[in-house]
Structure 1
Amino acid sequence: MRHAETVTFGGSAFDRAGEIRADDAAVAAARSQPDARAILFWRGKPLIAPQNPAELVRLPLDHAVLAGAAGDVILLGREDGAPRFAFDLAHWVPEGADMATLGAFHDPSEQRHPALPDTMAFAELRRVMSWLSPRDAELAATAKAILGWHEAHRFCSRCGAPSDVQQAGWNRRCPACGTSHFPRTDPVVIMLITRGNSVLMGRSPGWPQGMYSLLAGFVEPGETLEAAVRREVFEETGVEVGAVDYLASQPWPFPASLMFGCAGEAVSEKITIDPVEIEDAMWVPREEMMQAFAGDHPTMLPARKGAIAHFLLENWLADTLD
């Protein structure tokens, strides 16, 4: 396995059991196995045991809390031969919960269900992703993405009729017009743009004070990754990019992206930001970025740990990009 595959949410070699998804009898048999377990979510937050190290909770399928979960079967796959299913407890309303913070960039809140031990809590995945093992992170990302897709695609996009869940959660079919719908993934480029010894960094409105990250943007229809890198960088900062290389990818279930990490060589230096897209951008010398990663920079915070931006920058500083 390449070093690039060790990015958060990737690299655990999880068995997705795709060969049994369309076999209802095989899925039912998997669900009845004594070692089958549930990965439980509430409003996009996975259930974890937040001690150090944190763990993604795996509940027996006969646990009482699952009685309040959505009824559709979502098969994630097999973990060391044991089936894993995703369940959503979205209709539960925790007492005193601040619903306004859900899905926010920074959500430090945790919710505890009365039917579960106090050692278990629902927590924002972006906050805890770097606490989890590679397997736990991949399971959580997969479950979050597929549950989020079902929540947003309950109706046929062709005729508007309610659609039915099929293939153990990996397909929705419209009974009215017969159209099949599959989980979508949106391609996004995220760019390590360098010029000499400096890297191009930007920040979006609403980020924590002082936080900067690599530029990123969605790939448009009919566009290559290389073209998307050049277009996005120029649109946001006015910087022109020459050679572009692929580095690494990361599933990013917020809600359903695949981040393509790319390296690009800038052929111009002047920055002219688009204030609609970003709040600020600047060239950061390698020495200052090392300060930021060490927590010693007076004004700048590094990209969020666990995100591919942090991974790319960390390996750029260590000269271990492959």
Structure 2
Amino acid sequence: MNRSFIIFTSLLALTWVSCQPSRPSASQSATYRVAFYNVENLFDTIDDPDIQDEEFLPTGKNVWTAERYQIKLDKLSRVIVALDSASGGPDMLGLCEIENKAVLEDLVKTKALQAQGYAIAHHSSPDERGIDVAMIYKEKSFTYEGQEAYRLVVPDEPEFLTRDALMVYGKVGGERLHLFINHFPSRSGGQEASEKYRVMVAQLVRAKVDSLLAADAQAKFVIMGDFNDMPHNKSIKQVLNTTGSIDSLNATNLLNPFGPMHRSGLGTYNYRGDWNMLDQIILSQSLVKGKGLQAVVSSSGILQAEWMKQQEGNYKGYPDRTYAGPRYLGGYSDHFPVYIDLVK
């Protein structure tokens, strides 16, 4: 795993962007796919008086009916299967913009996923819209041991609410793996004005990472999410302390394979014609240069199959989203998912 990034940056089109990603052929005994997907407002149709879900009700402005909800579930399940077409979906999948555990239960019961043996790790966040982060995982691949949540409290702004960061831990191939699932605060109000909140959440996550490393210098972990920041922004580059180069990876920083991808012009979310790499998977040094369970760095990629894209108009090639404002498009999500393989 000491291959330089220089080798595969020349193969971007072949290795990083895939229409139907499949597991690499390898001599290792097992391959495990880790993925992350912002599923764009996966709400049920039931009114929850404790959150602001009025838009996603049959009587709301989005006219969110049972039929539209089922279409959304089926389309998301198609994407999830395509994230690992060889085995019917990734082994571990982080998710965000989830309303509650019930929608996850409906998702894993869809026709495409019901035979895959997915279990759910979920935590309810204080976000005023009620959206959470979660993880679904194949019980045959990941032995769940527990989870922790980390809440941002802004002392001078007690009314500021956002998603908690979720850390799920368990065994993969007999080794303990910690998976952090994140949905950092949005850029509402502008990137600069809102940056401090993303920095604060990144500090919470980094503090937990540091405690893991203090207890075990070879602790293995993955940090994934919709960070609402790019790889070069402060929350990712400085606070989480990431590098895009394997050669510069050391005992204190983390590897972000999606940084070089973004510099090459790739992204997971398109904003006004620019591809933003908001969704990323970040790796501990022990997963890249350690022994045992290892990340196949060159397997990292973005799933953007043609059927996931808008097919015509000004937004041709963008993610085929469910809504554009209040206008129902009936697509998948406004984000593309990301993935990477681990081998043991």
- Whether these two folds match at TM > 0.5 is no
Structure whose CA Rg is larger = 1
With a CA cutoff of 8 Å and minimum separation of 6, indicate the structure with the bigger relative contact order.
Answer: 2
| Interval containing the TM-score (normalised by the shorter chain) | under 0.3
After TM superposition, the score normalised by the length of structure 2 is 0.24
After TM superposition, the score normalised by the length of structure 1 is 0.25
